[in-house]
C-alpha cells in the first residue's frame, strides 16, 4: 500500500496562463432544486438566491439561466445580503456564515461562534453587519465578518429577520408573542417595542428611521411611522401566513406568503391588493429594487419575476432535485449524464451536452425510480439503465424503452450490437442485436452487481456486493467467481486491457466510511490493494491508459494516479457532495457527477497548482491551503505560506466556534510550512482551522470522520 502524496508544481515549471482553468470546476448547469428561502436582487438582470443543502444560485440574464455556486457547505441557508455587486454574506443552519468578495464565485466560511441556526443577515457597509437566529441570537461584526461578537438581545425567542436603517438604528423580529426589538446604539442594547399582535413575525423592513413594516402569521401586517414607538395593524385581506415584506419607497411595497400569496400596496399599506402569482407553492422571500422589477422565491425551487410591478409574474424555472449517477463522453464536446429525482419526486433524468458541458439539456422521462448507468458506443447509439432500459439512435433526442430488457445498475456495450447489463440479485443480461432482445445469463450469485466492463466480445468482468468479482472468457456464457481479498462492496471496475484493471470499493459500517482501490495485472487472478482510506467510499474508477486514472467517492473525494496506481493523489474537488461517476476523454479533460446534482469538469487533469517563487521558492502572498486529506481520520496536514517574518497563530475550532487546539503560536520567518493536526481525541464532525497574522486572517473547513 502506497503513501499519499501532495502534488506541488512550481511556477517556473508550468505557465499557468496557458491553462483554460486549473483543477475541478462546477459546470454551467441548471442546479439542484430545493426550497429557496431568500433572494437578493442586484439589478433588473441579476439576482442571487439561497436555500436548502447549501444551495446558492445566481442569474445574470433575468432568470433564463440559473448558475450553481459552490457554497462550500451542505447546511441549509436561510438568508443572503450583498453590500455591492461583489461582497456578500449568507447564513443558515448550525451557525453557518459564509462570505464572498467576487459576486459568489467563491465562498469562504466565517466562524460565527454559535451552533444555533441563523435566520437573517444585514450589512450597512463592507465592515458592519448583524446576524440574528434561534434562541435570541444576535451577532455583530465590524471587520466584514472576520470576527463575530454576540450581543444581548434580551430574549430567548427565535429571531427571524433583522434590518438596519443606519449604523446605529435597527430592528429584529421573531416568534414568541410577535416580538419586536430595537436598538439605537448599534446593538449594544436592544429594547422590546410595543406590539399590537401576538402572532409570530417573520420579516421586517424600514425605508427610513421612522417608517417600517413587519409581517407574520395569519396575514399579520404592522406599520409604524415613528420608528416603532407605535405599531398599527394593517388590513392584509388574507389569513395566510406572510413571510417576507419589501418596499421600494414609502408608498409601494409587496408581501408574500403561503400558497402563492402575493400582496401589493401603493399607499404605504393603507390598502393591500392580492396579485396573481400563478403558483400554489409557499413563497418565502420578495425583493424589489424599483417599482417595476422584482423577484419572489419559495419552496420547491419556485422563483418568480415581474417587470411590471407584479401585474404579471413569470416563473423562472429550476430543475427539480436530482442525483447524477453516471457520466460518459465520446469526445471532448459530446456527453451524457443520467440520474434520478429524490424522494418523493422520483423521475428519470437524462442530461446531454454538445459543447463540453457549457450548456446541458435536460430530459425528464416519467415517474420512474431513475437511471443508474449510461453508455454510448458512438455519437448516435446509446443505452441507459435503471428502473427501466432505454435506447437512443439519434444521440439522445429520443429514447425508446426496450420492453424486452430488464433494468440494472450498469450497462456496457462492446459495439452497437453486443452489450451486457448487470443488476440486483446477481442478474446479468446480454444482447447481440442492440437491445432488441436480451438473454438472461447465469451469474452463479444472488449478490447485487454494480458494475460491468468488457475488453472484447469474450472477456469481461462484473462486480458487486461483499467483494463479488465475476469473470467470463466466453462472452458471458459462463461466469467464474474470483476474490480480491476485500469484503467491501465493489462499486466500479475498469480494465485498460485484458490483464490490467482496477476496482473501486468501500462501505459504511454505521460509523466510519472506508474505501479501497485494488489492481490486477493478470486479468483478475490476483489483486493488490493499492490504497485504503478511512473517510470515503470509492464509487467509480476510470483510466485513459495503463498509467493515468481517477477514482471518485463520498464527500467529494477525487484521487488521481499517473503511475498505474503506485501512488494516488487527492485532488481538490470543490464540493463535499458524494461523487458517483467519473469519465475522461484524454489526460486533461474529464467530468465527475454525483449527489444533489453535482457536476464537475476539469481541463488539466484535475491538478490544483500551488505557485511558489522560482528564486528560493519565497512566497509573495499569505496563503492557507486546504488540509489534506479531507475528510480525514485521525490526522491531517495543513500547509501555509507567509511572505515576511510574522507572528503566526493557527487554531482549531469546532462547529460551535469553540477553540479546540492551538497548533502554532510564534513568530516565523518568510517561508512555506506544513503542520499536522492529530485529532485522535476529538469526535467526528466539522472543524475549522484559522491562520492569523498581524495583517491576514483566513479560515477553512475540514471534516473528521471516525
Q: Of 269, 287, 315, which closes a domain?
A: 315
Query: Is 350 inside a domain boundary?
Result: no
Query: Is 17 inside a domain boundary?
Result: no
Query: Is 304 inside a domain boundary?
Result: yes
Please report, for the domain that includes residue 257, its CATH number: 2.130.10.10
**The pLDDT value given to residue 493:** 98
Mark the ranges of the chain whose per-residue pLDDT is less than 50: 1-20, 30-32, 343-345, 609-616
The b/e string for 412-443 (b: 16+ C-beta within 10 A; e otherwise) is bbbebebbbbbbbebbbbbbeebbeebeebeb
Judge if 432 and 290 occupy the same domain: no
Query: Is 555 inside a domain boundary?
Result: yes
Question: Exposed, middle or buried, 344 (CB in 10 Å: 0-12/13-18/19+)?
Answer: exposed
Summarised one tens digit per residue, pLDDT across range 369-413 is 789 999 999 999 999 999 889 999 999 888 988 877 678 999 999
CA dist 79 to 161, 259, 630, Å?
Answer: 9, 21, 28
3-class secondary structure for 412-428?
Answer: EECCCCCEEEECHHHCE
Cα(527)–Cα(63) distance, integer angstroms = 52
C-alpha cell at 565: 496506481
Domain coverage including residue 120: 32-315
Cα(172)–Cα(160) distance, integer angstroms = 7
C-alpha cell at 369: 425510480
Give kind and range of the element (H or E) at residue 633.
Answer: none
CA dist 31 to 17, 319, 591, Å?
Answer: 29, 7, 16
| CA nearest neighbour of 329 among 593, 604, 551, 584 | 584
Judge if 221 and 166 occupy the same domain: yes
Judge if 656 and 559 occupy the same domain: no
Query: Is 427 inside a domain boundary?
Result: yes
Looking at the DSSP bridge assignments, the partners of residue 178 are: none
Judge if 83 and 166 occupy the same domain: yes
Please report, for the domain that includes residue 698, its CATH number: 2.60.40.2550
Cα(624)–Cα(108) distance, integer angstroms = 12
**The pLDDT value given to residue 394:** 93
Cα(213)–Cα(675) distance, integer angstroms = 52
Cα(486)–Cα(484) distance, integer angstroms = 6
Summarised one tens digit per residue, pLDDT across range 488-533 is 999 999 999 999 999 999 987 655 788 999 999 999 999 999 998 8
Cis bond leading into 347, ω under 30°? no
Judge if 300 and 178 occupy the same domain: yes
**The pLDDT value given to residue 321:** 56
Q: Indicate the number of domains in the chain.
A: 3
List all residues 6 or more positions away from 674 whose beta carbon is below 8 Å from its beta carbon: 637, 638, 639
257, 283 in Cβ contact below 8 A?
yes
Judge if 646 and 560 occupy the same domain: no
Query: Is 12 inside a domain boundary?
Result: no
DSSP, collapsed to helix, strand or coil, labels residue 44 as: coil
3-class secondary structure for 523-537?
Answer: CCCCCEEEEEEECCC
CA dist 323 to 351, 507, 692, Å?
Answer: 12, 19, 39
**The pLDDT value given to residue 374:** 97
Cis bond leading into 57, ω under 30°? no
Looking at the DSSP bridge assignments, the partners of residue 449 are: 464
| CA nearest neighbour of 679 among 620, 642, 638 | 638
What is the Cα 298 distance to its own chain's centre? 19
Cα(176)–Cα(332) distance, integer angstroms = 57
Judge if 82 and 201 occupy the same domain: yes
Q: 307-314 long-range contacts, Cβ below 8 Å, gap at least 24?
A: 307/44, 309/252, 309/264, 310/254, 310/262, 310/264, 310/275, 311/275, 313/262, 313/275, 313/276, 313/277, 313/278
What's the CA angle centered on 662, arms 659 and 664, to 5 degrees?
Answer: 150
Judge if 124 and 191 occupy the same domain: yes
Query: Is 286 inside a domain boundary?
Result: yes
Judge if 569 and 641 occupy the same domain: no
Judge if 548 and 632 occupy the same domain: no
CA dist 219 to 37, 184, 207, Å?
Answer: 19, 29, 21
Cα(510)–Cα(506) distance, integer angstroms = 13
Judge if 221 and 290 occupy the same domain: yes
Cα(613)–Cα(488) distance, integer angstroms = 45
Query: Is 363 inside a domain boundary?
Result: no
**The pLDDT value given to residue 18:** 30
Question: Exposed, middle or buried, 66 (CB in 10 Å: 0-12/13-18/19+)?
Answer: buried
Question: Exposed, middle or buried, 664 (CB in 10 Å: 0-12/13-18/19+)?
Answer: middle
Judge if 137 and 237 occupy the same domain: yes
Cα(540)–Cα(158) distance, integer angstroms = 44
Cα(603)–Cα(528) distance, integer angstroms = 30
**The pLDDT value given to residue 597:** 79
Amino acid at each position: 500500500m502506497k503513501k499519499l502524496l501532495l502534488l506541488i508544481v512550481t511556477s517556473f515549471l508550468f505557465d499557468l496562463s496557458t491553462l483554460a482553468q486549473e483543477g475541478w470546476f462546477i459546470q454551467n448547469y441548471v442546479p439542484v432544486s430545493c426550497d429557496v428561502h431568500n433572494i437578493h436582487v442586484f439589478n433588473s438582470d441579476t439576482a442571487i438566491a439561497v436555500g436548502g443543502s447549501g444551495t446558492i444560485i445566481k442569474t445574470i440574464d433575468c432568470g433564463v439561466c440559473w448558475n450553481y455556486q459552490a457554497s462550500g457547505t451542505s447546511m441549509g441557508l436561510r438568508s443572503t445580503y450583498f453590500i455591492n455587486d461583489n461582497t456578500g454574506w449568507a447564513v443558515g443552519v448550525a451557525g453557518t456564515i459564509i462570505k464572498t468578495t467576487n459576486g459568489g464565485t467563491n465562498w469562504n466560511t466565517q466562524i460565527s461562534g454559535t451552533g444555533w441556526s441563523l435566520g437573517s443577515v444585514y450589512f450597512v457597509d463592507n465592515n458592519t453587519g448583524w446576524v440574528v437566529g434561534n434562541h435570541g441570537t444576535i451577532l455583530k461584526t465590524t471587520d466584514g465578518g472576520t470576527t463575530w461578537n454576540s450581543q444581548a438581545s434580551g430574549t430567548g425567542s427565535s429571531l427571524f429577520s433583522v434590518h438596519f436603517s443606519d449604523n446605529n438604528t435597527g430592528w429584529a423580529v421573531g416568534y414568541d408573542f410577535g416580538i419586536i426589538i430595537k436598538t439605537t446604539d448599534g446593538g449594544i442594547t436592544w429594547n422590546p417595542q410595543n406590539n399590537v399582535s401576538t402572532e409570530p413575525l417573520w420579516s421586517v423592513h424600514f425605508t427610513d428611521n421612522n417608517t417600517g413594516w413587519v409581517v407574520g402569521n395569519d396575514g399579520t401586517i404592522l406599520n409604524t411611522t415613528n420608528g416603532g414607538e407605535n405599531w398599527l395593524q394593517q388590513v392584509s385581506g388574507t389569513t395566510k401566513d406572510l413571510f417576507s415584506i419589501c418596499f421600494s419607497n414609502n408608498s409601494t411595497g409587496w408581501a408574500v406568503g403561503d400558497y402563492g400569496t402575493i400582496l401589493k400596496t401603493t399607499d404605504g399599506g393603507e390598502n393591500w391588493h392580492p396579485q396573481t402569482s400563478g403558483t400554489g407553492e409557499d413563497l418565502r422571500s420578495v425583493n424589489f429594487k424599483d417599482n417595476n422589477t422584482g423577484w419572489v422565491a419559495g419552496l420547491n425551487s419556485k422563483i418568480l419575476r415581474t417587470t411590471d410591478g407584479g401585474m404579471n409574474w413569470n416563473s423562472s424555472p429550476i430543475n427539480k432535485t436530482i442525483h447524477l449517477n453516471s457520466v460518459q463522453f465520446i469526445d471532448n464536446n459530446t456527453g451524457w449524464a443520467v440520474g434520478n429525482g429524490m424522494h418523493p419526486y422520483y423521475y428519470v433524468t437524462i442530461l446531454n451536452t454538445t459543447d463540453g458541458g457549457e450548456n446541458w439539456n435536460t430530459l425528464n422521462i416519467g415517474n420512474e425510480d431513475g437511471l443508474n448507468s449510461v453508455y454510448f458506443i458512438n455519437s448516435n447509439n446509446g443505452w441507459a439503465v435503471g428502473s427501466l432500459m432505454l435506447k437512443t439512435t439519434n444521440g439522445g433526442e429520443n429514447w425508446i424503452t426496450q420492453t424486452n430488457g430488464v433494468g440494472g445498475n450498469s450497462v456496457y456495450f462492446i459495439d452497437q450490437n453486443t452489450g451486457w447489463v448487470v443488476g440486483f440479485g446477481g442478474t446479468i443480461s446480454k444482447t447481440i442485436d442492440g437491445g432488441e432482445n436480451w438473454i438472461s445469463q447465469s451469474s452463479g450469485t444472488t449478490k447485487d452487481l454494480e458494475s460491468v466492463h468488457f475488453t472484447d466480445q469474450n472477456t469481461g468482468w462484473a462486480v458487486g456486493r461483499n467483494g463479488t468479482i465475476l469473470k467470463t472468457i466466453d462472452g458471458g456464457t459462463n461466469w467464474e467467481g474470483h476474490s480480491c481479498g476485500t469484503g467491501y462492496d465493489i462499486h466500479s471496475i475498469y480494465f485498460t486491457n485484458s490483464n490490467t484493471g482496477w476496482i473501486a470499493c468501500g462501505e459504511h459500517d454505521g460509523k466510519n466510511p472506508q474505501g479501497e482501490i485494488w489492481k490486477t495485472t493478470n486479468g483478475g487472478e490476483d489483486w493488490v490493494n493499492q490504497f485504503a482510506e478511512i473517510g470515503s467510499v470509492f464509487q467509480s474508477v476510470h483510466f485513459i491508459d495503463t498509467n493515468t486514472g481517477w477514482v471518485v467517492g463520498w464527500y467529494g473525494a477525487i484521487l488521481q494516479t499517473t503511475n498505474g496506481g503506485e501512488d494516488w493523489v487527492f485532488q481538490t474537488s470543490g464540493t463535499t457532495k458524494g461523487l458517483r461517476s467519473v469519465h475522461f476523454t484524454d489526460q486533461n479533460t474529464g467530468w465527475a457527477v454525483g449527489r444533489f446534482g453535482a457536476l464537475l469538469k476539469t481541463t488539466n487533469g484535475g491538478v490544483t497548482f500551488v505557485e511558489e517563487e522560482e528564486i528560493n521558492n519565497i512566497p509573495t502572498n499569505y496563503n492557507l491551503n486546504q488540509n489534506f486529506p479531507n475528510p480525514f481520520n485521525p490526522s491531517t496536514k495543513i500547509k501555509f505560506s507567509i511572505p515576511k517574518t510574522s507572528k503566526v497563530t493557527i487554531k482549531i475550532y469546532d462547529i460551535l466556534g469553540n477553540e479546540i487546539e492551538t497548533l502554532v503560536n510564534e513568530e516565523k520567518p518568510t517561508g512555506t510550512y506544513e503542520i499536522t493536526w492529530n485529532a485522535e481525541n476529538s469526535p467526528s464532525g466539522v472543524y475549522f482551522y484559522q491562520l492569523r497574522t498581524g495583517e491576514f486572517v483566513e479560515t477553512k473547513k475540514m471534516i473528521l470522520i471516525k
